[in-house]
Structure 1
Amino acid sequence: MNYQDYNVDDFINDESFQSYVFDIDPKNELFWKDWLLKNPQKQKEAEIARNILLSFSIKGLDIDVEKYNHDLSRLQKAISDKKESKHISIVKNLDFFWKVAASILLFLGLGYGMSYFSSQEYGKKEITVLEKSNPKGRKSKVMLPDGSRVKLNADSYFKYEEVDNKRNVYLRGEAFFEVSRDASRPFTVYTENISTMALGTSFNVRAYPEDMVTQVYLSTGKVEVKTLGNDKCTKLTLEPGSRAGFHKDDQSLSFEDFNPENALAWKHGTIVFEKSDFQEVKRLLERWYGVDIEVNGNPEPSWRINGAFEKESLDNVLSSIHFTTPLDYSISKDKVKINFQNK
């Protein structure tokens, strides 16, 4: 790992740095203290990242209750809005950062954001909010304030809330969750169509808007999947190795086993195609590599592809497809052109 190239966002998203800041593992504390002593040129960025992470623990902020309700209402409205969130640029100095924190702490840099609300008039009621979004072509790891870990896929967004003894996540895209067990505070992931509730477990949720099926894959523990937004609520309880799928066309919920090596391969940098048609391949490549693909012509209607590509470049993936499919392609930065050689 080349820490010399780290910026503030990299420090924030590094799990070992998070562990050092929150005193989770003495080994990480010793490593980072030693590394920062040897690399004084990075101390300023690391200190900014440290202060941002520690903002999760701010207590007793004396804020205006009316403003609290107004800001909370805006946040709740934003999560229900299907339009892309507008992000505030990265905070460039600590003076400005703490002025914002005095009323409502909001940090959004390269798609990373967190907010914390507290009010004496609400007794011990506190609301912690964290947001993270990845553009196409980027994946990230996030440690939540409760100790849970999230691996967020490319072209994905989630928002985490702690309120009223509940841990709620709102997801668009795909993420793998390793939930820290806390029987007194359920952990629930909400997508547009379903909710997935767990206590201490690990599972994957895939909920891209363009996909016709929203899917939940359970690795360990147990979760309850429930449909949302329709008259008839359907529930399923998953055991490890089973998958729930919500079908958007008929609003039905299905249940079956799954192959974790394929379904969760994205976590390890592997693209897997399983009888994928070209539209599915195009969507996945655009999402995975952060490119726009322009297509001329069409493959045969029966065209499908199977295969796995572990940490391969886009050029290598397209070259492999080229061997079995009559097409030409060119890559120019984030633009790709594919021409099918139709008969």
Structure 2
Amino acid sequence: MQEKKPTKSELQAFFRGECPKEDFERIKLFLDNSASDKMLEKLWESEDVDNEFSLSDSNKEALYGQLKDKINSKKPFTLISNTWFVVAASLLLLIGLFFVYNTPENNILQYTSNSREVKFITLPDSSLIVLNANSSFDYSETDEQRLLHLKGEAFFKVFRDENLPFIINAKSTEIEVLGTSFNVSTYEDRFDIVTVETGKVKVSDTQGSVFLTENEEAVYLNEKLQKRSALSGRTSWIQKKRNYVKTPLRTIFDDMETWYAVEITSPERIDTTRYTATISLEKDLDDFLENLKISENIDFTILGDTISVHKD
């Protein structure tokens, strides 16, 4: 019996990570087949790629071709949400999008990103994850829950399953959701920060719990987990940039250390200086340091992977 061909709305739901589990394999098998070409082309053309990314026809054609090659290849791949599909395909040539559909025999999935790398991943449950530089996680499923251990930073768009909670173990907190989108930063030398974009998230530590909704975040203030209105720019790293508004330089240095895999040393009077800028992570670290030198009269010395920042 021939499998039912997916509709356009089913394909869009599949790319958004909202496809019911019972339809997931059917649609994936269809996408593996050359018969999917025409439908994918129509879906691609229906998305407003021109207005969103100002791509020329030749660039659109090349990007679509590369995406289709990935789908047709015998190698494992990941399919991405409707929105992420357009973004990821449009950035494919620029950031080397990582495609993976991984189901190892031990049922524990492990992912790692390198310095200056943003990695897009879709889990077997259709949850979407964007992994920041120098970050890693492992993921497993049981009959009771979906469990993920995170080191570093990631953006999540969790596929909703009311019978299977999605739990993230970070350094000092546990995050529990059913289906929502949010950002988690849990680097080794910093306090955890959980920022919710949509839905509802429960964040717990040994002292208690806070519940977050849209545009709220959980942070540690005076070593206590508290919630507040989310600061803007928390997820700008996904587009390989960082937006800072009156941010202490130490916080910015920490982000630069993670992204470029360097160590930045500086005195407290520089660390507490507040700085406003949009920093492109596509550029070399020297670009940021030179701008800092001009605007803040701050000098620096580079010795291998260590940068010493100082004022005369």
> Is the pair's TM-score, using the shorter chain for normalization, greater than 0.5?
yes
Report if the CA contact (8 A) 1:175-1:204 is conserved.
yes
SS of the residue corresponding to residue 292 of structure 2 reads helix
Shift of 1:324: 2.3
Q: 2:111 aligns to what? A: 132
Distance (Å, rounded) in 2 between the aligned partners of 1:191 and 1:244? 13
Report if the CA contact (8 A) 1:329-1:336 is conserved.
no
Matching residue within 49, 52, 61 for 2:75: 49
Shift of 1:255: 1.0
Q: Is 1:244 the counterpart of 2:218 in the alignment? A: yes
Matching residue within 290, 305, 308 for 2:274: 305
Shift of 1:305: 3.2
1:193-342 matches, cutoff 5 A: 193-211=172-190, 213-227=191-205, 230=206, 232=207, 234-246=208-220, 250=223, 252-259=224-231, 261-288=232-259, 290-293=260-263, 295=265, 298=267, 300=269, 303-311=272-280, 313=283, 314-329=285-300, 335=305, 337-338=307-308, 340-342=310-312
Shift of 1:169: 0.9
Report if the CA contact (8 A) 1:188-1:195 is conserved.
yes
Greater Rg over alpha carbons, structure: 1
Report if the CA contact (8 A) 2:249-2:270 is conserved.
no
Report if the CA contact (8 A) 1:171-1:189 is conserved.
yes
Matching residue within 186, 190, 208 for 2:169: 190
Distance (Å, rounded) in 1 between the aligned partners of 2:132 and 2:124? 20
Structure 1 gaps of 5+ residues are 1-14, 55-109, 118-126
Q: 2:90 aligns to what? A: none
Aligned residue-pair number: 247
Q: Percent identity?
A: 23
Report if the CA contact (8 A) 1:113-1:132 is conserved.
no
Shift of 1:145: 0.4
Matching residue within 97, 110, 120 for 1:141: 120
Report if the CA contact (8 A) 1:21-1:53 is conserved.
no
Structure 2 gaps of 5+ residues are 1-14, 17-23, 42-60, 80-97
Q: Is 1:180 the counterpart of 2:149 in the alignment? A: no
1:36-185 matches, cutoff 5 A: 47-50=73-76, 114=102, 116-117=104-105, 128-185=107-164
Shift of 1:274: 4.3
Distance (Å, rounded) in 2 between the aligned partners of 1:161 and 1:210? 26
Q: What's the TM-score once normalised by structure 1's chain length?
A: 0.59
Shift of 1:326: 2.9
Amino acid at match of 1:254: Q
Shift of 1:310: 4.9
Distance (Å, rounded) in 2 between the aligned partners of 1:44 and 1:219? 30
CA separation of 1:324/1:189 partners in 2, compared to 1, >3 Å: closer, same or farther?
same
SS of the residue corresponding to residue 316 of structure 1 reads helix
Report if the CA contact (8 A) 2:122-2:129 is conserved.
yes
Distance (Å, rounded) in 2 between the aligned partners of 1:237 and 1:178? 17
CA RMSD, 1 decimal:
4.1
Q: Larger deviation: 157-166 or 264-273?
A: 264-273
Q: What's the TM-score once normalised by structure 2's chain length?
A: 0.65
Report if the CA contact (8 A) 1:136-1:286 is conserved.
no
